A = this chain, B = another copy of it.
Amino acid sequence: MIAKTPIRLYDLALQDDRRPSPFCWRIKYALAHKGLPFETVPVGFLDIPTLFGGAQKTVPIIDDGGQVVGDSWAIVEYLDEAHPDTPRLISSPAERALCRYLEASLFLSTLLPLLEFCVKDIHDHAFEKDRAYFRSTREKRLGRTLEEVAAAQQERRATVRTGLEAVRYMLKTAGPFLSGASPGYADYMVTGFLLWPASVSRVPVLAADDPLLPWLERMQDLHGNLGRKSPLYAVAG
């Protein structure tokens, strides 16, 4: 039996080895779900265009023994096809379509407020070399300075908490995981969205009594404490 080369996952990194990217988080969980050995390669914002001749604009990117795939949805599809002997991440077209709905719905209700909640904190934790680039691209996208955006952090947090209401309902009608008795890709998506602010913000995003908290702790426990493998501030409080 030939020892398999671990899959390499290019993972956004900040100072102190913080790993904020929600899309990289979901792929770390996806690889662990499938039991595929992997190692992460930490990359700063400005390292991404230097990888693979600039073919990918964003992380996650995986390199599976020379097969390079970017974009989290393409990676999930690739992993389910290339490793058919491992547990599937998405088991039907309907589940894929509904995960896409979850993505779009959370983008609209939660992701932009989450970005605004933590964008200044991401900047402050970024490598020195990445900060000017990060500031200029994000200020252009948001139409305000990072400091102006950060001044509304409390309001953004309130929006995020409201935006998660349908996720709480999902947990209440299923449980102990969002996907039911065992965790599925929907769990990994939402976990990534919540570990993102926790990786950089000293202000916790969830209230201490949020019903999602026991679930998030279960998610962090999974796969040998995967959700605690890089530094985090408190997720709730």
Contact B174 A93, beta carbon cutoff 8 Å: yes
A103: chain B residues at CB < 8 Å are 169
Contact-residue bracket for chain A: 20 to 34
User: A94-B179, A98-B186, A101-B169 provided; 6 other pairs, C-beta below 8 A?
Assistant: A93-B180, A93-B184, A97-B173, A101-B102, A104-B170, A107-B166
A93: chain B residues at CB < 8 Å are 174, 179-182, 184
Q: Which residue of B lies closest to A101 (CB)?
A: B170
- CB of A184 to closest CB in B, whole Å: 4
Binary interface encoding of chain A residues 88-111 relative to chain B, with 1 for a CB under 8 A from any of its CBs, else 0 = 000111111111111111011100
Query: In the complex, A221 Cα to B181 Cα: how many Å?
Result: 37
Confirm or deny: A119 has a beta carbon within 8 angstroms of a beta carbon on chain B.
no
Confirm or deny: A167 has a beta carbon within 8 angstroms of a beta carbon on chain B.
yes
A165: chain B residues at CB < 8 Å are 104, 108
Query: In the complex, A186 Cα to B98 Cα: how many Å?
Result: 8
Q: Select one of B101, B107, B170, B184 contacting A167, CB under 8 A.
A: B101
Sample 11 A-B pairs with CB under 8 A, ordered by A number.
A92-B92, A92-B95, A92-B180, A93-B179, A93-B184, A94-B185, A94-B186, A97-B180, A98-B98, A98-B99, A101-B186
